Structure 1
Amino acid sequence: MKATAPPAKRRRGPRLAVLALVFCSLLVPIAFLFNRFPAVYVTDERPEQEVILPERHSVVVNEMKQPGRSDAKPDTQDAPVKISKIDNVPSRVITKPEVLPPPAIERAKQIPVPVPVPVLHRNGSNPNVNIRPPRVPSADELEKAKACQLEFGSYCLWSIEHKEVMKDAIVKILKDQLFVARSYYPSIAKLKGKEALTRELKQNIQDHERVLSESIVDADLPSFIKKKIEKMHQAIARAKSCTVDCNNVDKKLRQILHMTDDEAHFHMKQSAYLYNLGVHTMPKSHHCLNMRLTVEYFKSTTLDSDDSLVHKFNNPDNRHYVILSKNVLAASVVINSSVSSSEETRNVVFHVLTDAQNFYAMRHWFLRNTYRESAVNVINYEHIILENLPEFSMQQLYMPEEFRVFISSFEHPTEKSRMEYLSVFSHSHFFIPEIFKDLKKVIVLDDDVIVQRDLSFLWNLDMGDKVNAAVKFCGLRMGQLRNLLGEATYDPQSCAWMSGLNVINLEKWREYNVTENYLQLLEKFRNNDDEASLRAAALPISFLSFQNLIYPLDERLTLSGLGYQYGIDEEIVRTSTSLHYNGNMKPWLELGIPNYRKYWKRFLARDERFMDECNVSP
């Protein structure tokens, strides 16, 4: 007989490799969900950065005249600054989602979260904001609110406004019964002679779990649910009549409570991630609009720039506005609102600085659309820096930087804390005098600003020896930023200031060598070469570069906070000279605050076919 060879042993290597790959593929999405939302998102807008500050004692936290409470008296001492790290980003100022500035209004609702106060305009007060008196929260509620805002930022305010009260009473009864039954089941299962009750409790628990897995509202519950509830009620009553160790029941209830809290926190992290993704990502319709405009620009042969307007661009006698933007709709709304509010537009010129990616879309839009007699000059910032100013390494266009600050009081921990946003100049702003060498004065507008009144009076403003006319925000003093400003020389009592609407004297800028001072400060404050460190440095650099060079504008010139504060009086919004939508909830996003979006949408182009084709409907 011919011997047959034994069967070959199966190789386990490939099978183990496949199993390992499958296991890793399951772990990746789970780790993604459990991880905090990332520090950087794909976006056409500026992500915020974060700083946590204790509150100045001189700042009145609550301007709402609560019954039985007098206004706080100012104190001359500065509270020390505390910087905390959030999202595990290794820097003192944390990039991504929000640092300081206008006011944070929190409206008190029947939720354990304190709702901020009316906008504390630059001098720390705004008595004109009318808000209903809030319920005074307890110290424990305040701590929970602080922790929420520290971890999730403006998502907390948004979630409070959009919180839905549970109206499904039967579902709530099912959940309550399930919690009680689970707490008694382990103790009953250990008792002798209670096997029937143990089986009944286990069966009822399984039935409740099955029903709740399929139904989340009363309308979805099966018709026999009342019988299930009655059976569970009787089983729980019998369990309570048994002699059990109360400590075991208490321990089990606490365990269920902690598991429920963990589950709620997990879902809150998921919701906060989706919220931040929504506010920091360009909507698909906006991306479509940019692509269509770019393609149309290269296809079009009829539209061409009007050479007759070129002479206006460098004429220092004209009124020049500068806008940094990567958003076509936002830039167009700023220009349209400014022109619509102006009495005379023949000598008005708008310079839109954008990046290479959005340049052709922006250019084609403003070739297709005219704004009375004003001229619009679209400039590729990255190209002009590379070609004409190669000595400057900051070739990327940076939008105005937004910071979120959480201001609380160490000495009065039960006082309401404030979460506020502050917009400051980005690194790109410091090259404006080099780009417009022939101009003497410009007005710089952020692309989240709309103008409701004529600004022509600003061109006659005598700024003296000052360089930057800005609205000051005295809710924050330089002394509170000592941890950020380091050993630099500064006046600790000087107020912070806001970008959004700024009058810049370019002649004084060049005389005081502000750009050169900025480059020196950049070397000092930039800890490393990553973008997070670079953008975090914008806050101290902006304040120190304009030390003693700020001309204070009337605080009524700009109403800030429309991108994160709920509850600003509509009359105040309607009558303000300009509106600044600083914060996460920009008006061109679906997450924008509805009460304020309508003012922005008034100046949106309505007869653009590309907007209809891309379903752009802010």
Structure 2
Amino acid sequence: MIKDIQGRRKGSKPDEVEKVKACQLEFGSYCLWSIEHREVMKDSTVKKLKDQLFVARSYYPTIAKLEGQEALTQEMKQNIQEHERVLSVSTVDADLPSFINKWMEQMERTIARAKSCTVDCKNVDRKLRQILVMTEDEAHFHMKQSAFLYNLGAQTLQKSHHCFSMRLTLEYFKSSSLDSDDSPPGKFNSPKYRHYITLSKNVLAASVVINSTVSSCKDPGNLAFHILTDAQNFYAMKHWFARNSYRNAFIHVINYEAIVLEKLPKYNIRQLYLPEEFRVLVRSIKQPTENTRMEYLSLFSHSHFLIPEIFHYLKKVVLLDDDVVVQRDLSFLWNIDMGGKVNGAVKYCGLKLGQMKNVLGKTAYDPKSCAWMSGVNLIDLDKWREHNVTENYLLLLKKFKFKDEQALRAAAFPLSLLLFQHLIYPLDENLTLAGLGYDYRIDEEVARRSASLHYNGNMKPWLELGIPDYKKYWKRFLVRGDRFMDECNVNP
């Protein structure tokens, strides 16, 4: 889910800034992706021929009416016909005849002569403006079409991944050792263990989060992971983690939809929502002349607000988004004294609540309060309950009107920022490096040194759209040699 908020960043010329801002407002990270994957034009000369033809056609009717310009009129007509004949059989430069450059030079001289004549500028101007509007409309159409296909690729489960999940589900029901007891064993509610929670519908993503965390931990046997997933992927998750070992860490797969329906029927948020991502165009307050910088801000979804109720037996947990890779031991988080705060998060002060009046509505808030990000969050569940965060969430939720599912998900933005504005404990900004799902400018040395990596943005590492330079940090924590991955041709 992506919400747009305006802002600024460094840039060059004002008109270029506006073009970039407009593109990112409408198409988001597709603009960055299309620039990075821009291919060498195979029809650049063909396009130049079309441009010449457009200009010649614009001048021709006016030139034909001038007395004493019969020779120029005949020359323009002949050149126009030659261009039309060539373009009728040529779509790329390879189709063009070898002498095309001479024809283009001849047409250029003819157009120059036409421009030197005294003509009715209004007619020529009208013709050229018609061509400009038509060309801009066509370009925008193709841009929208390409952006749609890009977003479809980012949001659609790949065929190989769907096959993988279905095969795991089938194998679970074929197994003779079905576990019908879903009640949490003692190890999953014991305060002796360090508890991590991940919301995910993606088996491979959840696996990488856990594998990277245990691989970076000195005492993985002291870790307990709780995976909240939906009913569709529940059995695939259970079977995967039952047949794979993660250095003696305990893994608990929970059907979110079932547990809310059975044990928390008073709550209406029964569908599992993953962390929401909002596209933000940030404007620098200190340097207002800077250009727009696009960021993807990850925040809690509606499902996050039920975590204290689902895990009523836990006191403190670490929440990990399923697009996170852990590269350093996170044990130090458990020693942090949060001073009564609820949510330990990396703050993002490039965006403050005072900049989002149109989004936050009439609810009271501190305009100087910074935004924050999900990804790696230390949560004091006791303080959460003490401050009645879930109850306040339900009350605030009633103030927002939802026309559809998209509006409901978009409400996670103001809700997350308003409910935690005075309850955030600022974690070290070096704890996690965000942007690996949209920003091509991240230095690889910085990525290697970071304690964790957050692939927020559309270009997730398990997708073909993922940024190639950053995929390797994610892929190294994949479980290798699994027969279902091989049979379904899963190769992120």
TM-score (norm 2): 0.91
Does the CA contact (< 8 Å) of 2:2 and 2:410 recur in 1?
Answer: no
> 1:286-310: per-residue Cα shift (whole Å, max 9, x none)?
2222222222222232576999993
2:34 is matched with 159
Deviation at 1:523, TM superposition (A): 1.2
2:417 is aligned, of 529, 543, 553, to 543
Does the CA contact (< 8 Å) of 2:315 and 2:380 recur in 1?
Answer: yes
1:577 is matched with 451
Give the SS at the match of 1:141. Answer: helix
> 1:204-228: per-residue Cα shift (whole Å, max 9, x none)?
4354345445534322324564575
Deviation at 1:252, TM superposition (A): 2.9
Does the CA contact (< 8 Å) of 1:51 and 1:406 recur in 2?
Answer: yes
Shift in CA distance, 213/498, structure 1 to aligned 2, threshold 3 Å: farther
1:205 is matched with 80
1:595 aligns with 2:433: no
1:284 aligns with 2:159: yes
2:4 is aligned, of 27, 33, 50, to 50
> 1:28-87: per-residue Cα shift (whole Å, max 9, x none)?
xxxxxxxxxxxxxxxxxxx222233x56xxxxx55xxxxxxxxxxxxxxxxxxxxxxxxx
Give the SS at the match of 2:415. Answer: helix
| Whole-Å separation in 2 of the counterparts to 1:299 and 1:381 | 23
| Whole-Å separation in 2 of the counterparts to 1:237 and 1:505 | 75
Give the SS at the match of 2:207. Answer: helix
Shift in CA distance, 181/373, structure 1 to aligned 2, threshold 3 Å: same
| Whole-Å separation in 2 of the counterparts to 1:145 and 1:362 | 41
Deviation at 1:606, TM superposition (A): 2.1
> 1:383-438: per-residue Cα shift (whole Å, max 9, x none)?
00001111111110011111112233699764212222211111111111111111
Does the CA contact (< 8 Å) of 1:304 and 1:367 recur in 2?
Answer: no
Shift in CA distance, 451/145, structure 1 to aligned 2, threshold 3 Å: same
Deviation at 1:281, TM superposition (A): 1.7
1:182 is matched with 57
> 1:511-532: per-residue Cα shift (whole Å, max 9, x none)?
22221111111112x2135222
Taking the TM superposition and a 5 Å limit, the aligned residue runs for 1:466-505 are: 466-505=341-380
Does the CA contact (< 8 Å) of 1:448 and 1:586 recur in 2?
Answer: yes
Shift in CA distance, 439/411, structure 1 to aligned 2, threshold 3 Å: closer
Give the SS at the match of 1:419. Answer: strand
Shift in CA distance, 531/230, structure 1 to aligned 2, threshold 3 Å: closer
| Whole-Å separation in 1 of the counterparts to 2:194 and 2:188 | 10
1:387 aligns with 2:341: no
> 1:172-213: per-residue Cα shift (whole Å, max 9, x none)?
542343233222222234346877865764564354345445
1:326 is matched with 201
Taking the TM superposition and a 5 Å limit, the aligned residue runs for 1:434-473 are: 434-473=309-348
Give the SS at the match of 1:49. Answer: coil
Does the CA contact (< 8 Å) of 2:227 and 2:251 recur in 1?
Answer: yes
Does the CA contact (< 8 Å) of 2:4 and 2:25 recur in 1?
Answer: no
Deviation at 1:345, TM superposition (A): 1.1
Give the SS at the match of 1:271. Answer: helix
Unmatched segments (≥5 aa) in structure 2: none
| Whole-Å separation in 1 of the counterparts to 2:256 and 2:305 | 12
Taking the TM superposition and a 5 Å limit, the aligned residue runs for 1:245-264 are: 245-264=120-139
Give the SS at the match of 1:358. Answer: helix
Does the CA contact (< 8 Å) of 1:48 and 1:404 recur in 2?
Answer: yes
Taking the TM superposition and a 5 Å limit, the aligned residue runs for 1:598-613 are: 598-613=472-487
2:438 is matched with 564
> 1:90-117: per-residue Cα shift (whole Å, max 9, x none)?
xxxxxxxxxxxxxxxxxxxxxxxx4xxx
Moved over 6 A (4+): 192-197, 305-309, 409-413
Deviation at 1:459, TM superposition (A): 1.4
| Whole-Å separation in 1 of the counterparts to 2:185 and 2:78 | 82
Give the SS at the match of 1:492. Answer: coil
Taking the TM superposition and a 5 Å limit, the aligned residue runs for 1:104-123 are: 114=11
Unmatched segments (≥5 aa) in structure 1: 1-46, 56-60, 63-113, 115-136
Does the CA contact (< 8 Å) of 1:142 and 1:414 recur in 2?
Answer: no
Deviation at 1:243, TM superposition (A): 5.5
Does the CA contact (< 8 Å) of 1:303 and 1:368 recur in 2?
Answer: no
1:423 aligns with 2:298: yes
| Whole-Å separation in 1 of the counterparts to 2:88 and 2:237 | 50
2:429 is matched with 555
1:35 is matched with none
Amino acid at match of 1:51: I
| Whole-Å separation in 2 of the counterparts to 1:578 and 1:215 | 52
Amino acid at match of 1:464: G
| Whole-Å separation in 2 of the counterparts to 1:189 and 1:311 | 93
Deviation at 1:336, TM superposition (A): 0.9
Shift in CA distance, 236/529, structure 1 to aligned 2, threshold 3 Å: closer
Amino acid at match of 1:593: I
Name whichever of 218-227 and 358-367 sits farther off: 218-227
Does the CA contact (< 8 Å) of 2:2 and 2:276 recur in 1?
Answer: yes
Does the CA contact (< 8 Å) of 1:441 and 1:505 recur in 2?
Answer: yes
| Whole-Å separation in 1 of the counterparts to 2:82 and 2:68 | 23
Give the SS at the match of 2:466. Answer: coil
Amino acid at match of 1:533: A
Amino acid at match of 2:488: C
| Whole-Å separation in 2 of the counterparts to 1:337 and 1:354 | 19
| Whole-Å separation in 2 of the counterparts to 1:325 and 1:473 | 24
Amino acid at match of 1:323: T
Taking the TM superposition and a 5 Å limit, the aligned residue runs for 1:238-387 are: 239=114, 244-301=119-176, 310-387=185-262
Name whichever of 201-210 and 177-186 sits farther off: 201-210
Amino acid at match of 1:260: T
- Please tell me the root mean square deviation across aligned C-alpha atoms, in Å: 2.8
Deviation at 1:492, TM superposition (A): 2.1
Amino acid at match of 2:349: C
More helix by share: 2
| Whole-Å separation in 2 of the counterparts to 1:600 and 1:556 | 19
1:519 aligns with 2:356: no
| Percent of matched pairs sharing the same residue | 71
